[in-house]
A and B are shown apart, each in its own frame.
Chain A
Amino acid sequence: MEYFLTEQQKLIKSIARRIAEERILPVRAELDEKEHFPWELIKDIANADLFRIFIPEQYEGMGEGSFALCIAVEELARACAGVALSYAADALGAFPILLYASEKQKQQYLPAIASGARLTGFGLTESGAGSDAGAIKTNAKRDGDGYILNGTKQFITNGGEAEIYTVIALTDPTKGARGASAFIVEKGTPGFTFGKKEKKMGIRCSATRELVFHNCRVPKENLLGKEGLGFIVTMKTLDSSRPGVGALAIGLAQGALEAAVNYARQRVQFGHPVSAIQAVQHMLANMAMELEAARALVYATAKTIDSGAKNFTEEGAMAKVFATDMAMKVTTDAVQVFGGVGYMRDYPVEKMMRDAKINQIYEGTNQVLRNVIALELLRRKGLRE
């Protein structure tokens, strides 16, 4: 397929691909096994300027948009979804600042994010507030010229490793979701510590940890936007980040498809490679077809965002759901094509299958997002512009 990449986007793709093939591929199995956060690779990604892609030029970024970010995430995920997530979650953590920070806040935080010197995280989920994000309990009480934060955030990607967090907390618990506000909290702030480090099924090299706030004082300058904007910040942030999850899924599926095709051509049964068996060919053909369809949807969504569209909630949700369901299916089928050895940790496809599952869960479960899509669909009476 021809997607008419600009010179710059082609460059981003080739640079991300070199990092994936030369740096990530040789270590991905070990990172998965040992659950080590890939700091060395994060440095490679930073040195290659890939963190600059999603930051505007005036803050030492390169002002590329959602599409370029998707290309980079896809290429990294082709080698390892865990590494790609650590990168993509940095964009997720940067979005609230990009979308709602004051000029002063942007000047303060974005250059270090652009250079990759400081990673970011986004703190929304709590043990009692997953899909029901409105049920968060973490609160921020006004105290003189600042706020006092108390509560625990759960399952935070890049938790412990990142230095800049956007945290959603209730400034007015009586108002429910409308009483939430977004704060920038830096690692090292007194009263802010890290709790349980999760042991996961997949994406095991990425860090997933609790953020614990105990009488953590944050100056009022760290409030993003104004009080009560917390949920709007959240929704807009997730709208922006979902195509990236879709891109991660297509990169992951691409890696699985390549592995399955190569293996099918080599593996001999009944006197010929299994790729000569029509049942296997049809599996591979379906994998390729569904992957290509998902890629087209993710790219189209990213380009819609780059065109300056104001509302892309529905498109973002569709790209995320379709691509991640596809990745689960394609990676599962890749294991099937490999047969018995596919189940073994000596081959990469079992990891890909484990890595795929989370994509159907985080950043809005695929069920909740179907609700979102249906809501928008009903609102527009099924009509297309």
Chain B
Amino acid sequence: MNIVICIKQVPGTTEIKIDPKTNTLVREGVKSIVNPFDAYALEEGVRLKERYGGKVTVITMGPPQAEEALRETISLGADDAILLSDRAFAGSDTWATSYVLSKAAAKIANYDIIICGRQTLDGDTGQVGPELSEMLKIPFISYVSKVEEIKDKHIRVQRMIEEGHEEIETTLPAVITVAKEINVPRLPSLRGSMKAKTAKIAVWTAADIGVETDKAGISGSPTRVVKIFFPKREHKSEMLEGTLEEQVEKLAERLEKIV
């Protein structure tokens, strides 16, 4: 089984700060981590390899320092990691990102399954997985909470829905995004950490994967972030007075108005 995992390097969870002047993320001095949702994708990929054999390749699109995140995935069981890095990719929205990832997947070619986290911690859109499958013209299943079986180029999974789960089967290759209920990601191993230190991380540029530069980066991104701002928090409190019955009546009136 040829397994491809897409990950993203994001600012550490508890440390997100927004510059109030520029309305952009403050990245200076903030520790970067592998997007926590992607850790479940990687773990599932490694478990599928342990179950069915094969190879786990991790890809990420990002600046040169994203190599650190890729090394971490090797300490967690990935066999190979590829960094998609090019000035032309800078400023990509989910559409342009998916396009670049689809081109990288096309170059890897004989993949059986592509696994993504269900969303990222910073962007929070959850769009890259489905968009990637559209661009590759292969099936897509979101919120996978269990891989039941892979057999004869088919995959059968449990997919989370509001009340419980449904079972879906589709053909491979396919893209799936995983819910955090799917597994408990392992901690780095000693052998893996040693391998991660010396592993060669390939860097693929736009030219390497045949990306048309006007379709990537800012020029390839239909989305524009107009403004990022903290929502205003307004606290208003009002004390209801009178007897208990009167207070309840007033409260009921208020609630009715809202509804």
Interface residues of A (CB under 8 A from B): 8, 11-12, 15, 18-19, 22-23, 44, 47-50, 52-53, 62
Contacts and interface: CB of A to CB of B under 8 A. Distances in A.
Interface residues of B, number: 9
B187 A18 contact: yes
Given A8-B194, A47-B187, A62-B191, 10 more contacts: A11-B193, A15-B188, A18-B187, A44-B186, A44-B187, A47-B186, A48-B186, A48-B190, A49-B191, A50-B190
Which applies to chain B's interface (DSSP): helix, strand, loop or mixed? helix
Interface in B189-214: 189-194
Nearest to A23: B187
Contacts of A12: 190
Nearest to B191: A49
A22 B194 CA distance: 21
Contacts of B193: 11, 15
Contacts of B188: 15, 18, 48
Contacts, number: 35
Contacts of B192: 49
Contact of B194 (A11, A19, A47): A11
Nearest to A43: B186
A52 B190 contact: yes
A59 to B, nearest CB: 14
Which applies to chain A's interface (DSSP): helix, strand, loop or mixed? helix
5 contacts: A8-B194, A23-B187, A47-B189, A49-B189, A49-B192
Contacts of B191: 49, 52, 62
Nearest to B77: A47
Contact of B190 (A15, A22, A23, A44): A15
A330 B225 CA distance: 58
Contacts of A62: 190-191
B252 to A, nearest CB: 43
A50 B186 CA distance: 14
A19 B184 CA distance: 13
Query: Which of A15, A22, A50, A62 has the most chain B CB within a 10 Å cutoff?
Result: A15
B187 A15 contact: yes
A8 B193 CA distance: 10
A49 B188 CA distance: 9
Nearest to A72: B190
Interface string B209-244: 000000000000000000000000000000000000
B187 A19 contact: yes
Query: Which of B186, B188, B191, B194 has the most chain A CB within a 10 Å cutoff?
Result: B188
Nearest 6 CB-CB pairings of A with B? A49-B190, A49-B189, A48-B189, A49-B191, A47-B186, A18-B187
